[in-house]
């Protein structure tokens, strides 16, 4: 089992920045991908960014490319999401997820992930 705990959400004005953190515990060595997803009210959960544990390759949704950066602190089993130039449409609950398997072709699919955190709310006002 892997436990994931997110933090760092909050309210910010458009153009501002936030950094989300996700601390993993348990059998973290069994995971292949770590990712951030988000879900706004009335919308489906969507993949925001992912990092492959071996090699460190990163993947981003087109909507956040150039604004968000995912990174992994291996010694502390922590994944970060640095969010810059935030827009009101970034408002959502953000979830950390971990996959035992997965593929770079489908990193954005929620169904590929086995473990989920409870989420942290991000609200961006105009």
DSSP per-residue codes, 64-113: TTTTEEEEEETTTTEEEEEE-S--GGG-EEEEEEEESS--GGGTT-GGG-
pLDDT surpasses 90 at 91: yes
| pLDDT of 75 strictly over 90 | no
- pLDDT of res. 122: 98
**What does the pLDDT read at residue 6?**
97
Q: What is the pLDDT of residues 3-36, one digit of tens each?
A: 999 999 999 999 999 999 999 998 888 889 999 9
């Amino acid at each position: 089992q892997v436990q994931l705990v997110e933090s760092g959400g909050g309210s910010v004005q458009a153009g501002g920045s936030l950094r989300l953190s996700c601390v993993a515990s348990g059998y973290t060595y069994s995971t292949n991908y770590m990712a951030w997803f988000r879900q706004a009210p009335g919308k489906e959960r969507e993949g925001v960014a992912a990092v492959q544990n071996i090699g460190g390759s990163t993947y981003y949704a087109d909507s956040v490319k150039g604004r968000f950066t995912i990174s992994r602190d291996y010694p502390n089993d922590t994944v970060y999401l640095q969010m810059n130039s935030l827009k009101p449409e970034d408002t959502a609950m953000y979830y950390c997820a971990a996959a035992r398997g997965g593929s770079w072709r489908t990193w954005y699919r929620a169904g590929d992930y086995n473990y989920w955190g409870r989420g942290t709310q991000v609200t961006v006002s105009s």
